[in-house]
Chain A
Amino acid sequence: QQPVQSPQAVILREGEDAVINCSSSKALYSVHWYRQKHGEAPVFLMILLKGGEQKGHEKISASFNEKKQQSSLYLTASQLSYSGTYFCGTESYRGSTLGRLYFGRGTQLTVWP
Chain B
Amino acid sequence: NAGVTQTPKFRILKIGQSMTLQCAQDMNHNYMYWYRQDPGMGLKLIYYSVGAGITDKGEVPNGYNVSRSTTEDFPLRLELAAPSQTSVYFCASSYVPPGTGELFFGEGSRLTVL
Contacts and interface: CB of A to CB of B under 8 A. Distances in A.
Interface residues of B, number: 27
A104 B42 contact: yes
B98 interface: yes
Contacts of A49: 99-100
Interface string B97-110: 11111111111100
Nearest to A30: B99
Given A2-B42, A100-B45, A104-B42, A44 B50 contact: no
A99 B101 contact: no
Interface residues of A, number: 25
B74 interface: no
B40 interface: yes
Given A91-B98, A99-B50, A41 B45 contact: no
B45 A44 contact: no
Nearest to A1: B59
Nearest to A5: B42
A34 B37 CA distance: 14
Among B41, B43, B98, B104, which residue has the most Cβ atoms of chain A within 10 A?
B43
A41 B108 contact: yes
Interface of A: 2, 29-30, 32, 34, 40-44, 47, 49, 87, 89, 91, 94, 98-106
11 contacts: A2-B42, A41-B107, A42-B103, A43-B105, A47-B100, A47-B102, A99-B31, A99-B56, A100-B59, A101-B98, A101-B99
Interface of B: 31, 33, 35, 40-45, 48, 50, 56, 58-59, 90, 97-108
